[in-house]
Amino acid sequence: MPTKRYALPLAALALAAGMLCLPGCGGTPPEDAAKTAAPTSGPAKPLYTYAQMNDLRVAPQLGMGFFAIEEGGWRWMAKESRLVLRAPEGPRAQFEVRLTLPKGQVSSLGPMALSVLFNDKPFADTTYTVDGDYTFTKDVPPGALTQAPVHVTLRWNKARPPGGGDARELAAVIVGIGFK
């Protein structure tokens, strides 16, 4: 039985040994355990032309302003959000944003205007006056995407401020964004 003099150091040693054992106690971690679902700082080469929000593989292409996947299929976005997309192949492309303005969003904030920028240049604007599900679609003019990859910015004129226990600024629910 250890004396009082050694009890505290032995307890600390046992605790440290137990903590070292934790990562390996369940066998080897799954192969995707090292993959992050959180946005990273700008990929060298984006893989996808369309970012489906529930697909963890597109997470590295998402920049600031996108929050974690919710209910397995969508993400809230802040007043301004950015992502990087692979430029579409071929001369014709269509840009799409599938979004929801949840019940009470427009009625409490008023009409919400969305601006889309490609590589910091204005591409399109639209305004929503009613809450609901929407698919914003616009043809991309030939020659509009001269720089690859395409840095996309979505910017709303207003968003719900943090409150009610949620520290996020919330503009819209996004389901998918990209070129079709």
| 121-132 pLDDT, tens digit each | 999 999 999 999
Q: Is residue 52 part of a domain?
A: yes
**In-domain check, residue 63:** yes
Average pLDDT of the segment spanning 52-76? 95
Query: Is 20 part of any domain?
Result: no
For residue 46, tell me if it sits in a domain: yes
* pLDDT at residue number 7: 47
The reported pLDDT for the residue numbered 167 is 96
| CATH code for position 105 | 2.60.120.260
Alpha-carbon distance values, 123 to 51, 81, 99, 105, 138 (Å): 18, 15, 18, 25, 9
Please choose, from the candidates 155, 108, 157, the residue with its C-alpha nearest in 3D space to the C-alpha of residue 131: 108
Whether 91 is in a domain gets the answer yes
Q: Give the SS3 label for residue 8.
A: helix
% residues pLDDT > 90 (the chain): 67
What is the CA 180 to chain-centroid distance, rounded? Answer: 19
In a domain, residue 21? The reply is: no
- Whether 29 has a pLDDT exceeding 50, the answer reads no
Q: How far apart are CA 108 and CA 105, in angstroms?
A: 6
Domain count, the chain: 1
Domain region containing 46: 39-179
**pLDDT for position 35:** 38
Q: For 12-55, list the strands marked E by DSSP.
A: 50-52
Helix (H, G, I), strand (E, B) or coil at 122: strand
> Would 18 be classed as within a structural domain?
no
Q: Predicted confidence band at 144 (pLDDT cuts at 50, 70, 90)?
A: confident
- Taking the C-alpha atoms of residue 152 and residue 136, their distance in angstroms, rounded to an integer, is 14
**pLDDT-based confidence at residue 44 (cuts at 50, 70, 90):** low
Weakest-pLDDT range from 22-36, 120-134, 147-161: 22-36
Degrees, nearest 5: CA angle 116-122-128: 40
Mean pLDDT of the chain: 82
Residue 1 lies inside a defined structural domain of this protein: no
The answer to whether the pTM exceeds 0.95 is no
